A and B are shown apart, each in its own frame.
Chain A
Amino acid sequence: MIVQLMYLVAALCFILALKGLSSPKYARYGNFVGAFGMLVAVVTAYLHGVVHNGLWILVAVALGVVVGIPAARSVKMTAIPQMVALFNGVGGAAAALVALAEFFAVPDSTVMFRLATVLTVLIGSVSFSGSVVTFLKLQELMTTRPVLLPAGQQLAIAAGASSVACAL
């Protein structure tokens, strides 16, 4: 009960954050509210969650802090889009990995569960690799011109089709 309530608080913070971010005047305030909501969410999930992984979670949080704060502080204003891309890609990868781990942890699953797992893995990994390529392009580590693989479209269609095949 209390957990759901805290989650509601966090969700409200996220909505207010989006509202704030839509105007330059309140963007910083919005960002702060969003960060606060995320803090509420993480702490709640941690306290509520299975305690037997507590140490690992703290290690992961520490790693994230060590990487994230210096990156966000030292990034040049001009390089913000690529940093957003990278952080976004990591988010997609995290979702995909969570779904993979959960799939092997839950032996008797429902159809809904499997569908959600498949979707998470697929979309999450698309998001991760796509974001890495956008990062490389904006950071000019690769050409910024459109890269046209021979039969690139057919390859993409084939990949899309085989993903559907894997999912079913």
Chain B
Amino acid sequence: MAVPNGFLLWLLAVVGLALGVLFVLPVGGADVPIAISLLNAFTGLAVAASGYVLANTLLIVAGTLVGASGTILTRLMAQAMGRSLANILFGAFKATTVAAHQDEQRSVKSGTVEDVAILLGYANNVVVVPGYGLAVAQAQHAARELVSQLERRGVSVSYGIHPVAGRMPGHMNVLLAEADVPYEQLKELDDINPGISSIDVALVVGANDVVNPGARDEPSSPIYGMPIFDVDRAKSVVFMKRSMRPGFAGVDNELLYNPKTTLLFGDAKDSLTKLLAAVKQL
């Protein structure tokens, strides 16, 4: 190896900067957190290498820890989305062809707050599936209050937490912990899905892609292969949405048109507060 001179080293820094931009630009919105996790592992490696430069053991140790844990996290996130890392980083090149193949207006069933309150209040068991919309609306406290009220009525309630609910693994857990939701109520995919057909109501609050049956049934769907909550197999579904806009991945959701589904339009926090009042009235 030749002696790198100063100029080449600066040039290398510039090339590195360009490489970083080129590497992240093709990554789609829903996959960006995975890119962050991978870049985090890169930073760990850079720090470990700088430990060699400075002959500092702690930098080597800490950098290696970050690099290793970042790599593991990246792999886990990719698995949670049912995709390979290569597909996430370089897979954008085919996604453009999956245009909206059905433009005609399809009918959906939307309900009033009172309808939904009756549905929830007289259910035996309910699963709440929170998503990024809940976080945006800061509705975690309202959700917890509604759940407490339902429990007082004897309804058994659990939360279904998808590994990538929110934007990163653990994001939703932190949000709900902030609202004093007990950890025991937070259930994962494998806890919920096997018994989902005996669930009376699945309450989807601000989630979308993680309950999209297309990920399971529709090989042409860009999110095909991602593990989901099979809420379409529950006895009924309440889908709280702000609008008919598709989720983070920009994919239409068949669940919205399912006859079992009742849509409740509105801001998540606002709707949950109204629901709480209506359940109290029952």
Contact = CB atoms under 8 A, between A and B. Distances in A.
A4 interface: yes
Given A41-B58, A145-B28, A124 B52 contact: no
Interface string B19-39: 111111111110011011001
A119 B46 contact: yes
Contacts of A117: 4, 9, 49, 53
B36 A114 contact: no
A84 interface: yes
A11 B59 CA distance: 9
Given A99-B50, A127-B43, A118 B9 contact: yes
B132 interface: yes
A98 B43 contact: no
B189 interface: no
Interface residues of A, number: 73
A148 B12 contact: no
Contacts of A91: 43, 46-47
Nearest to B6: A104
A78 B132 contact: yes
B51 to A, nearest CB: 8
Majority DSSP secondary structure for residues of B touching A: helix
Nearest to A119: B49
B65 interface: yes
A7 to B, nearest CB: 4
Contacts of B14: 125
A159 B18 contact: yes
Interface string B132-171: 1001101000000000000000000000000000111011
B19 A163 contact: yes
A162 B25 contact: no
Nearest to B29: A144
Contact of A11 (B9, B28, B62): B62
A28 to B, nearest CB: 9
Interface in A19-61: 24-25, 27, 41, 45
A107 to B, nearest CB: 11
B25 A123 contact: no
A111 interface: yes
Interface string A95-123: 11011101110000001111111111111
A78 B172 CA distance: 9
Given A99-B50, A127-B20, A156-B19, A118 B12 contact: yes
A122 B12 contact: yes
Interface in B225-244: none
Nearest to A24: B173
Q: Which 4 A-B pairs have the closest CB atoms?
A: A125-B16, A144-B29, A129-B20, A146-B92
5 contacts: A84-B36, A92-B46, A100-B13, A130-B20, A159-B19
Given A131-B36, A134-B24, 20 more contacts: A24-B174, A27-B174, A80-B174, A81-B32, A81-B33, A81-B167, A88-B40, A95-B43, A95-B63, A115-B1, A122-B19, A123-B46, A125-B12, A126-B19, A127-B43, A128-B17, A129-B16, A146-B25, A147-B26, A166-B4
